[in-house]
């Protein structure tokens, strides 16, 4: 069975602060993908990143960066110099090779960035 845990249900920061959203996953599969999605107040899920289980290289995209560590089964997401527009619910998700291709989502972390 697959499981994704986002222990932080809600985080509040002040604009320009850095913030890290935690994600821990469980799977017995050796081939899997990890994802982060953003859900702004409008409600539509927006794809941010996909990493496969064989690539532990960290990735940076602008103010966003991701830290994938198989040793701790974690895939954390950091926003540097947060902005009010970053306010949203962020979901971590897992798709495993032998789990029917669907996404298993974590419970989400609501990020509130205050001006």
Partner 1 sequence: GAGVSQSPSNKVTEKGKDVELRCDPISGHTALYWYRQSLGQGLEFLIYFQGNSAPDKSGLPSDRFSAERTGGSVSTLTIQRTQQEDSAVYLCASSAAAGILGEQYFGPGTRLTVT
Task: Give the residue with the Cβ less far from partner 1, 37 or 68.
Answer: 37
Compute the least distance from the CB of residue 50 to partner 1, in Å: 6
Neighbouring CB atoms inside 10 A of 64's CB total 16
CA angle, 45 as apex, 39 and 51 as ends, to 5°?
100
Integer CA distances (angstroms), 101 to 31, 34, 54, in order: 12, 12, 17
Compute the least distance from the CB of residue 55 to partner 1, in Å: 13
User: What does the binding site for partner 1 look like in residue numbers (CB under 8 A)?
Assistant: 31-33, 37, 42-47, 50, 91, 93, 95-97, 100-108
Task: Give the residue with the Cβ less far from partner 1, 19 or 93.
Answer: 93
């Amino acid at each position: 069975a697959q499981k994704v845990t986002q222990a932080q249900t809600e985080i509040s920061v002040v604009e320009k602060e850095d913030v890290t959203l935690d994600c821990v996953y469980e799977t017995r599969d050796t081939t899997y993908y990890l994802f982060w999605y953003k859900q702004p107040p409008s409600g539509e899920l927006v794809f941010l990143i996909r990493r496969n289980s064989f690539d532990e290289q960290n990735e940076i995209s602008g103010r966003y960066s991701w830290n994938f560590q198989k040793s701790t089964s974690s895939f954390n997401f950091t926003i540097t110099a947060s902005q009010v527009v970053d306010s949203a619910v962020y979901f971590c998700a897992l798709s495993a090779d032998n789990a029917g291709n669907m996404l298993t989502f974590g419970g989400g972390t609501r990020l509130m960035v205050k001006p």
